[in-house]
Structure formats: C-alpha cells, structure tokens
Structure 1
Amino acid sequence: MAIGAKLKQILEDRGLKAADIAAQTGLPVQTIYSLISRDSNKASIDNLIKICGALGITVEEFNQYDLKTKNNTMLKIAVTEHENKVITAYRDNPDMQVAVDKLLDVESAPRRKIDISVYKQNIAAGTGEEGFTPKKFKEVDDFARQIAELEADESD
C-alpha cells in the first residue's frame, strides 16, 4: 500500500486535515497534499519522520498500517512528548507502577512474582562489589529484574 493512501486514511481516522499535519511539522501544506494525491511509494525520509512524529507513531508503525483491517489501534492515539516521557518513566520504574496505578485509579495488571536473587548475585559477582554505592546496587537490582522478566516472557 502506498504512502499517500496510508496517510489519507490515518488523517481521516483521526479527524485531521493535511493542514493540521503541515502546521505540526512545518512542512508546506502542498507537500502533504502532494503525498496524498500522488499516492506514490516515494517520500523524503525526513518528511516521513516529521509526519510520523506529528502523528505520534514510528515510521515502522506507519509502514505496517493496514487500510483493509485498520488493526493498528496505536495509530488512533496521539501521544505528546510529555506523555511519552511519562510512559517511559513508568516503564523504567516498575517499583513505582503500582503506586501510580493506584494514584490514577487504574487497575493494575497482575504481576508475576519473579525471584531476582540469582541474577543479582551473578551480576554483582561479575562486577565486583567493592565500592558499590546504594545507587549502584539499585542499578544492579533493576538490571537483574529486567533480565528475569525477559527470561520469564520467553518461557511463556
């Protein structure tokens, strides 16, 4: 499916116009109209990145958008830069997620109990514990948790 058809459909799905995207990207509105009307598979990568940024999606998500099934629900949600930072911070701080969920009155996803002690020992042994600060121990803890979660996901 060509770039113009995808862009046209995404704009329609979101109730946006070419002028809206032009204003958000700084691109001339004629460039956006040209992409849609030509419906070619060629576009400047810089322009495509700007357009995807304004839509709050990646170029990969744009390329995977399927007009027939419209199965990419992420395309329907525009995320601001601030919201993206909040989401990243939420994901980077699993210990805080339950508190944030409670604060926002959002039902928490069920959490698996993961034993990270073996991972912590292996990481600490490989780096040497002398001179470890509480911050370093937290980094080891976080890293061990990430490894354990990845391995648990792979075994599911």
Structure 2
Amino acid sequence: MNREIYLKELIESKFGSVRYFAEQIGIPYTTVRSILERGVLNAKMENIINICKGLGITPEQLYNFEDSIISKINKFAVQLNEDRQQKVYNFTEQQYNEQNKIIKFPTNKEVMISGAVSAGTGEYLGDGHKEIVSYNGDIPVHDFAVIVNGDSMEPTFADKQIIFVKKTSDVRNGQFVIADYDHQAYVKKFMRDENGCRLVSLNKKYNDMPINDEHELSIFGVVVL
C-alpha cells in the first residue's frame, strides 16, 4: 500500500467518497482526484495541509507513510492467508471500537451443524442430518461445522463447543483434524515424529491413537482456528 492508496481509503472510510470529502474541505474534486492519481509529492503544500486537516492527520504522517506502523502492518497482512487476515481485521476493529468507546452488541448468528465429533470415545459423522443453531461468536471461513462431544481436547476444545472445519486431505504436523478413525469421527491433533504418525488428545488421560495398517483412517478436514 502506497500513501495515495492509504489516503484514498482513509477518505472513503471517513467521508464515504472522495467527491463528498472535497466538498467538505473546500477543495475542487478534480484537484483531490489529481493528487490521488499523480501522487502526494507532486501536490501543492497548501492542498496537502487542507486535506490532512480534514482527515485529522499531519502532513508529516502522510509524507512519512512508508515508514509508518500502518505501512509495516500492511506489508505483513498481505502475506497472510484469508483466515489470518480476518483475525487481524477483527483485532483492529476491536481496538478502534475501544478507542472510540463504541459498544458493539452481540448479534445472533446461525450456523449449520453437520453432526458431532468425539473428543473421547468416537462418534458417527455424515449421516446426512444437519441442524441450524444460534451462534454468537465470530464465524471463520469454513466448509462445515460440528459439535465436540467429550473432554479429551480440553482446554483448546470444550465439550459441546462448535468448531469450524475446512475440507482438505492435506494435513500438516501439529494441525487439529476431523478424522474418521475405524469408522468413527474424532477431533484430534495430528502428529508425525520419530514415534510415528498418530492422533493425539490434549487431555493426557486419553491414549494416543496410532496411524498404521491396523487402523482405517480418512481425513474430513482441518479445524479453522
């Protein structure tokens, strides 16, 4: 993101449009548009001062944008996947609301539940039955959602918690997976190391589930955190 893109997005976020902003600060719309297209460094200082004053920033902040914290955050954010970008956005929105004392009341959302997965002794998933339930938390990008039964994945996943899943058979070491293990569905941590491949519970009172020729295994997907 360069300073002109930053300036345009700041204008639109605060005033809705560049034209309306130009009217509010008393600068011709064509002048503001020209600054955004041709570059801040080519603009008259008096116009830059008026624009910055209207936006509540200083000319120094605009000219030094490449070294600003916003620019640095953006350089990292564009390299994140979509789920992590959403987390950055959610945190930024939270900080903005706190700064401006905006109270965001929870809204009831609905989630389609595709069944239950065990955090303990095994569940059957995929009988075709789906149920719509209310959900008050943030909903990440996902392919399906399930309910956890049991305590073997506590404290990360609690009993009766709704978790969201992205369909994939490509699993990396350490990821939480929804797996069909000997024809029953589990949520477990996939591990591969010198001790072999296995499904691991976070609650140590449950034994690891070895992945070998003695057991049938298929992966429904990975949990979206």
Q: Name the TM tier (shorter chain).
A: 0.3 to 0.5
Task: Identify which of structures 1 and 2 has the higher relative contact order when contacts are C-alpha pairs closer than 8 Å and 6+ apart.
Answer: 1
TM-score (norm 1): 0.38
> Which structure features the higher share of strand residues?
2
**Structure showing greater Rg:** 2
TM-score (norm 2): 0.28
